[in-house]
Amino acid sequence: MPFDFYSWITLPLIIFFSRICDVSLGTIRHVFISKGFRKIVPVLGFFEVLIWIVVVAQVMKNLNNWACYLAWAGGFASGTYIGLQIEEKLALGLQVIRIITNQNCDDLLAALKKDNHGITVVEGQGGMGPVKMIFTIIKRKNVGAVVSIIQQYNPSAFFSIEDIRNANQGVFTENPRKGFSSIRKLFSTRKGK
């Protein structure tokens, strides 16, 4: 009996790559839901489920083929990883950086203002004495630049970074790329209430 190349090689590869696509879409969809990007989520959900149902039908037709099971599981694991990598590259949304320092931070504040990052400074009392708390809300893609500024001008400062679902008003670094306005609208951050 000749080797069935389609059943044992081609079909599992189709299942594997299809699962990578649908799970990547699902991972990105979940991230977009958590960040409040409501316009794109239904589109991603449609294609995610469409791919999933086609692949499930193929697996159900080949229940005695263990290579399909391995392809299904491998595609799921790979799709999760790839979806997270894609989301990281997109770097959508806003984050707040809280900087707490007990040292002179005038140079740090000047550097943040020069880079057009909005800042709020609050006097506080820490465990070792008076501190300044600096808050800045930035686009996620700018986190690396702000962390570099902190490390350059006040390397011993404590800072924390957290996601923000939405914000109203504020000062943000401009995006030098002006094109793709319709795509940008799909990923726009919702205004706060």
Q: What are the tens digits of pLDDT across the range 155-182?
A: 999 999 998 877 776 666 665 444 444 4
Tokens representing 183 are 């795509």
The pLDDT, as a whole number, for residue 162 is 93
Identify the CA nearest to 99 among candidates 136, 124, 140, 56.
Answer: 136
Q: Residues near 69 by Cβ (< 8 Å), separated by ≥ 6?
A: 59
Report whether 99 contacts 39 (CB < 8 A). no
User: Span 94-186: which CATH code?
Assistant: 3.30.70.120
Task: Tell me the mean pLDDT in the region 121-142.
Answer: 92
Q: What is the pLDDT of residues 69-125, one digit of tens each?
A: 999 999 999 999 999 999 888 888 889 999 999 999 999 999 999 999 999 999 999
The pLDDT, as a whole number, for residue 2 is 83
Strand order of the sheet with strand 158-164? 120-126, 129-139, 94-101, 158-164
> Domains of the chain: which residue ranges?
5-90, 94-186
The pLDDT, as a whole number, for residue 31 is 87
- The DSSP bridge pattern shows strands 129-139 and 94-101 to be antiparallel
